[in-house]
Amino acid sequence: MLLVELTFCLLSSLWAGKEEYVFDLDRPENNANSIFAVRGKDVVVDDISVMDTITIYKPIFDPRDRAKVEVSLLSDGSGIEMKEPTVPTFFFTQVEDMYELDSDEERCASTILAHSVAATAIKNQVHRQSKRVVIEFPDGITCNKDFFNEAGDGLKLKKRFRMLEVELCKDAAGNPVTTHLTFMYWKVAIDGEEKKLGPDKNKPDDDDDLKNVLHRMSKMNMNTGP
């Protein structure tokens, strides 16, 4: 019995965890891990297709972590798997810098020591730096990566990184003090929701398709610099 318990503890310590949730598209504030997911209805793509989409937003507390976040569609389209940091990088790489922000009265030596020990362990054990989260779409919804993602990248979804400037407060002179919030998002199309606005764009001999191609080429020529 003791051997079984020790084995379980060892395996648990070597795996940062795999969490499983279901997207709440009706109340996006209820989604786990600060994820905000919204369903877009009748989204027009390429002036030809109309479809419903799901866009998944996630704040990035340390912008350096953007490369560590990866999202893939499950093989049956029933949800996503997200690989993300367990904690922001600065929590275990800039411990001293964090406590330098405290006053002498606020600084606690035992807390700093405990934080430093934990940070060293996380740095030395790479598997503790990331986790996997599986989030399923609501019943009856499956999605595909067409239209909004790279075609030759397996099930991996294209990530888009954004920085948003916000005002924190005013300084003594009344000037705004600003900072930047960082977030990422991914987009998928809902299966079975695509409708066509016009002729099938996959028919190269169709006169209307030719007009669309020529129209797009003219735009490309106008936007191409010397």
Shared-domain flag, residues 171 and 205 = no
Shared-domain flag, residues 135 and 219 = no
Shared-domain flag, residues 78 and 151 = yes
Shared-domain flag, residues 90 and 165 = yes
Domain span at residue 221 reads: 201-226
Shared-domain flag, residues 80 and 131 = yes
**Residues counted in the chain:** 226
Predicted model pTM: 0.77
Shared-domain flag, residues 206 and 140 = no
Residue 103 in domain = no
Residue 224 in domain = yes
Number of structural domains found in the chain: 2
Average per-residue pLDDT for the chain: 85
Shared-domain flag, residues 151 and 216 = no
Residue 185 in domain = yes
Q: How far is CA 28 from CA 109, 181, 203, in A?
A: 40, 19, 39
Shared-domain flag, residues 63 and 146 = yes
Shared-domain flag, residues 84 and 26 = yes
Report residue 70 as tokens: 């990866």
User: Given the structure tokens 């560590």, which residue do they identify?
Assistant: 68
Residue 2 in domain = no
31-40, 112-121, 205-214: lowest mean pLDDT where? 205-214
- State pLDDT tens for residues 42-60: 999 988 899 999 999 999 9
Q: Is the pLDDT of residue 121 over 80?
A: yes
Residue 137 in domain = yes
How much of the chain exceeds pLDDT 70, in percent?
80
Residue 106 in domain = no
Q: Is the pLDDT of residue 224 over 50?
A: no
Shared-domain flag, residues 129 and 226 = no
Shared-domain flag, residues 158 and 206 = no
* Sign of the torsion formed by the C-alpha atoms of 79, 85, 87 and 88: negative
Shared-domain flag, residues 70 and 26 = yes
Residue 22 in domain = yes
DSSP characters for the chain? -HHHHHHHHHHHHT---EEEEE--SSSGGG-STT-EEEEEEEEEETTTEEEEEEEEEEE-SSGGGGGG-EEEE-TTSSEEEEEEESS-THHHH-HHHHHHTS-TTT--HHHHHHHHHHHHHHHH-GGGGEEEEEEEPPTT--EE-TTTS-TTSTTBPPPEEEEEEEEEEE-TTSPEEEEEEEEEEEEEEETT--EESSS-TT-TT-HHHHHHHHHHHHHHHHH---
- State pLDDT tens for residues 184-207: 999 999 998 778 776 554 444 445
